[in-house]
Amino acid sequence: RPSVFQCAIDGPAASGKSSCAAAVARTLGFAYLDSGALFRCVTLKHLRRGTESTDWHDFTAATDLRLTALPPLTGTTETGPVRPRVFMDGEDVTAAIRTPAVNSHVSAIAAIPDVRTALLAKKRALGGGIDGTLPVPGGYAGVVMDGRDIGSTVFPHAQLKVYLTAAARVRAERRVREAGGDLDLIEQELVKRDALDMARAVSPLRKADDAVELDTSAMAQDEVVATIVGWVRDRMRSGI
């Protein structure tokens, strides 16, 4: 049985993965890892240099990627979850990886097999190895990782796999509330990116066979977090 508790949260764009995963991790005192940020960094680096790569594996593997740790939530008075800061080759790119340019190119970069292979190694190294038997950097007892292929590919033995969904309109409304923009355009962008992520040959977005699906269209973030925390605690108690 794996020694590190692995919780995989996958789902389409803006379904609430990162905000909920961060809060779940902080509540449990686990590490939180935003795998989408890694793909966004590689995309940003590629867009900046503007030329085609000849070796995507080397290009990706040679990029130094760091996510800051989030402090555990200890009381009930703290405000909502914050995102980790993201550093690429020593530069703080937390804001730069969330621009429309990165949004519109990231799915194409994430479909390149050599990019995925290089980041798969990175994701596993940060999350206890393929089966949770390796230590997690920082010494955490568990890890929550969100993305598209965490339950299906990265951590196939994860003790809990959640597939988080919400209606496209609801997801677009959440993004607009968070960052502004045109609702119809944002919905189109999300739907287009989901289609690309589901259609790629290597580890596409899909619900793992043993994942629990949670439709959050009518759920507040706090309810989603409480539900997932409850599932983790059930599994820890029953020794799964």
Q: Please pick, from the candidates 137, 141, 176, 206, the single residue that binds ligand CDP as defined by CB under 6 A.
A: 137
Which of 28, 224, 228, 232 binds ligand CDP (CB under 6 A)? It is 224
The amino acid at 60: T
152 binds ligand CDP (CB under 6 A): no
Strands (E), the chain: 5-10, 31-34, 65-67, 86-88, 91-92, 142-147, 160-165, 212-215
How far apart are the C-alpha atoms of 99 and 186, rounded to whole Å? 12
For residue 138, the minimal CB distance to ligand CDP (Å) is 4
Does residue number 158 form part of the binding site for ligand CDP (CB under 6 A)?
no
Query: Count residues contacting ligand CDP (CB under 6 A)?
Result: 37
Helix, strand, coil percent values for the chain (each to nearest 5): 45, 15, 40
Q: Which of 5, 39, 56, 155 contacts ligand CDP by CB under 6 A?
A: 39
Q: What are phi and psi of 118, to 5 degrees?
A: -65, -40
Q: Does 214 bind ligand CDP (CB under 6 A)?
A: no
Q: Which of 12, 6, 13, 18 is nearest to 224 (CA)?
A: 18
194's enclosing H/E stretch is: helix 183-199
What x/- string results for residues 171 through 210 when contact with ligand CDP is judged by CB under 6 A?
Answer: ---xx--x--------------x---x-------------
> Is residue 142 within the footprint of ligand CDP (CB under 6 A)?
no
Residue 13 binds to ligand CDP (criterion: CB under 6 A): yes
| Cα(16)–Cα(2) distance, integer angstroms | 27
Q: Which residues bind ligand CDP (CB under 6 A)?
A: 13-20, 31, 35-36, 39-40, 66-67, 69, 106-107, 110, 126, 137-139, 147-150, 174-175, 178, 193, 197, 216, 219-221, 224
